[in-house]
Every structure is written in structure tokens, then in C-alpha cells.
Amino acid sequence: MAFLIASSPHSHSCKSTCDIMMIVILCTLPGIITLYYFFGCGVLLQVAIASLTAVLAEATIIALRRRPIIHYLQDNSALLAGLLIGIAVPPFAPWWIAVIGTLFAIAIAKHLYGGLGQNPFNPAMVAYVVLLISFPVQMTTWLPPFFLLSTPLSIMDSMSTIFTGFSTDGFSVNQLLLTVDGITMTTPLDTVKTAIITGRPISDAVQESIFGGFVGLGWGWVNVAFLLGGLILLKQKIISWHIPIAMLVTLLTFSVVGYAVSPDTVASSLIHLFSGATMVGAFFIATDPVSASTTTTGRLIFGAMIGMLIYLIRTFGGFPDGVAFAVLIANMCVPLIDYYTKPITYGYKKESK
């Protein structure tokens, strides 16, 4: 028998990479089901397209690298990456959007760096940013909640719109965006960003029907569902509390202070916490064990940096959400964070600089 030498710690978990990835996938289901409830079958179709593309791309690249295909596919990392890209893509975006983003995530953001465990950036967020910058119109065309649409949509309508650009009745995506009131409705964060850019008081913007008197019709419940999944991950000890709590507390702190100073130009804390990709970013994106900080103190700094960047991008930047950009910027800082927060070896004193 070979004597295996590895770095500490030596207490091993009974969960394999395959098990961990599958638990994370299962914990996304409350959020995906809620997205489906409010935004229709397009959500499930985009998840299916991205997931299938991810698995096929992973198998192809593994074959080109002359590695055992089944062995590497069984870790479920490609499936999870495809799933996260699928929920980030608008439900009625063209099918090739999810395909291009997923191919970029698997081939460039993951395998170009050596595969699982080697990528410095979160593959799903790399794909999202590439798509957002390259195809801004398609990536910002989110429909209003399903029950507000002027044209009822079946699963065949969703499939036809995704693959041809028109529903079975011949309606384009722009026509489908119309609500029962005959107006085009954007997402809550888009509405807030437009108000900031145009100088309109946010207190007036949040009175629009998309907010529903809270943080946005559908989006508040979507974030609650992903929060529930994240709490299950914490309960199962799949992730630690440091990154999500540091991120959410920092975002809360900045938004409270900003709203207290200038309520007409800064969104409330509830909007920041329960709109957009806040909760999925906190529990499913920022906690990626490969691209996140590995030390305890470093995780707190890493999470706090993401929360601060999200607030700054949403308030002063050019994009409504900013979770993906914040995560990628923080990923770049991980080597530096880990270097200055590495724990002292037991039995040694801290060296003076």
C-alpha cells in the first residue's frame, strides 16, 4: 500500500465532492421552484439547456484531456455550474445565450486553469459577466411576474419563444413584456437604477406596481427561498457562516447608513437584501470553496468586501445588481487576503515585520 502524504487538517468528512455538489444542487430547488412560480416555464427550460450544455462540454473536454469521463462527471461540479447559469439567464432569453455562457464557464473559466479545484474565479459568475457585457439586451430582458402578463404563456409558448424568438401566437419578446396594464415592466433593481440615473426620488420609484408594496413582486419570495436553501447548507455544514453573514451584514450596514443620509438616492436595506441575486450570491456563489478565501479571518474580509462592492455598484455603478462583478473582484483579492490572514503555526510566535 502506498503511503499518502497530505497537508493538514487530517480530520476527513464523510461527504465526497459528489455528495457536496448534489446537496448544493438540491438546496437550490426552493429558489428554482419559486422562480418558476413567478416567472414561468422559461426558468426550467433555461436551467435544462445550461445544465445539459455543461455536462456535454465537460465530457468533451475531459475526453480531449484523455481522462476518464464518467469519473469526472460524477463530481456534479459541471451540473451545478450549469444550474447556476440557468437561473441567472432571463427566462425568455434566446437558447444560445445559455449555451454560450455555459461553454465559456466550463471551457475557459474552469478547464483552462486546470479543472475543478484550480479555477481562481467562480465559473458561473465569469459566464454571467461575459454574457451581460456581450449581450446586454438579451440579459436584461426579464419578464414581469407571470400573473401580470397580458398574454398567458404555456410551456409551448415558452419553448417557442426561447428557440424562435416568438410565441406560438406570433408575439415577440417585447410584446410579451407588456403587462395587463399595457406597460413594459422592469425588475425592481432596474427601476431603482433608472431612478438614480434620472434623478427621480427612489421613494416615488418604489410606488410602482412592480414593487407590490415590498421589495418587488416575486423577487422578495425568490430571495427568501434561496435564503432557506442557504440555511440548510449551513445546517448540513456544507458551507461556513463567515462569508454569507459578513456579506449580508456589510450590505445591510452600508445600505442603512446610505439610506439615512440620502433616502431619495439610495434604496432601502430591504430592497438591497431581498431583490436581485443577493441571497443566491451570499449562500451559493460567494461560498464557492475553490475561488473564495480559505482562512477564517479571510472569509470574513472576503464576504465583507463583496457586500461593500454590491452596495457601491448598485448605488454608484452602471449595473443594477452587481453581485457577479463584486464576487469576481473579490476573487482577485483572495491570494492577498489569504497571505495576510494565514494562521500562525502551532508552537511558533508571530514574526515582527
pLDDT at 12: 54
The grid coordinates listed for 101 are 455562457
209 pLDDT band (50/70/90 cuts)?
confident
231 and 169 in a common domain: no
End-to-end CA distance of the chain: 45
301 and 173 in a common domain: no
Most confident of the following: 53-57, 199-203, 207-211? 53-57
Structural domain span for residue 94: 18-183
83 pLDDT band (50/70/90 cuts)?
very high
**pLDDT exceeds 50 at position 181:** no
Percent of the chain with pLDDT over 70: 88
160 and 54 in a common domain: yes
**pLDDT exceeds 80 at position 327:** yes
49 and 143 in a common domain: yes
* Sign of the Cα pseudo-torsion (23, 26, 31, 32, in order): positive
* Long-range Cβ contact pairs of 336-345 (< 8 A, separation 24 or more): 337/293, 337/295, 337/298, 337/301, 337/302, 338/293, 338/294, 338/295, 338/298, 341/293, 341/295, 341/296, 341/297, 341/298, 341/301, 342/295, 343/295, 343/296
Query: Of 136, 164, 183, at which residue does a domain stop?
Result: 183
State how far the Cα of 108 lies from the Cα of 289, in Å rounded to an integer: 19
State how far the Cα of 221 lies from the Cα of 275, in Å rounded to an integer: 9
Percent of the chain with pLDDT over 90: 56
The grid coordinates listed for 164 are 424562435
**pLDDT exceeds 80 at position 80:** yes
The mean per-residue pLDDT over the stretch 79-90 comes to 95
296 and 177 in a common domain: no
State how far the Cα of 248 lies from the Cα of 253, in Å rounded to an integer: 8
117-153 pLDDT, tens digit per residue, is 889 999 999 999 999 999 998 898 887 777 666 666 7
pLDDT at 157: 82
With cell 486546470, the residue in question is: 114
- Determine, yes or no, domain membership for 92: yes
User: How many domains does the chain contain in total?
Assistant: 2
Q: Of 87, 84, 74, 73, which Cα lies nearest the Cα of 19?
A: 74
- Determine, yes or no, domain membership for 210: no
pLDDT at 150: 64
pTM: 0.89
State how far the Cα of 124 lies from the Cα of 104, in Å rounded to an integer: 9
**pLDDT exceeds 90 at position 329:** yes
State how far the Cα of 197 lies from the Cα of 190, in Å rounded to an integer: 11
Q: Of 305 and 193, which is predicted with more confidence? A: 305
- Determine, yes or no, domain membership for 194: no
* Sign of the Cα pseudo-torsion (157, 161, 165, 171, in order): positive
Of 184-188, 196-200, 205-209, 227-231, the one with minimum mean pLDDT is 184-188
176 and 36 in a common domain: yes
160 and 112 in a common domain: yes
What are 149's strand-pairing partners?
A: 179
Q: Of 60, 116, 53, which Cα lies nearest the Cα of 84?
A: 53
242 and 143 in a common domain: no
**pLDDT exceeds 80 at position 6:** no
**pLDDT exceeds 60 at position 180:** no
Note whether 263 and 253 are within 8 A (CB). no
- Determine, yes or no, domain membership for 200: no
- Determine, yes or no, domain membership for 40: yes
State how far the Cα of 313 lies from the Cα of 276, in Å rounded to an integer: 13
- Determine, yes or no, domain membership for 350: no
- Determine, yes or no, domain membership for 10: no
224 and 179 in a common domain: no
- Determine, yes or no, domain membership for 158: yes
State how far the Cα of 51 lies from the Cα of 266, in Å rounded to an integer: 37
For the chain, strand residue ranges (E) read none
Query: Of 154, 183, 212, at which residue does a domain stop?
Result: 183
286 and 165 in a common domain: no
Provide DSSP, 269-319: HHHHHHSTTHHHIIIIITT-TTTS--SHHHHHHHHHHHHHHHHHHHHHSSS
Q: What are the percentages of helix, strand and coil residues in the chain, rounded to 5? A: 60, 0, 35
**pLDDT exceeds 50 at position 236:** yes
32 and 129 in a common domain: yes
107 and 157 in a common domain: yes
Determine the angle formed by the axes of helices 42-64 and 29-39, rounding to 10 degrees. 130
The grid coordinates listed for 225 are 427561498
Query: Of 183, 209, 237, at which residue does a domain stop?
Result: 183
Note whether 253 and 259 are within 8 A (CB). no
**pLDDT exceeds 80 at position 10:** no
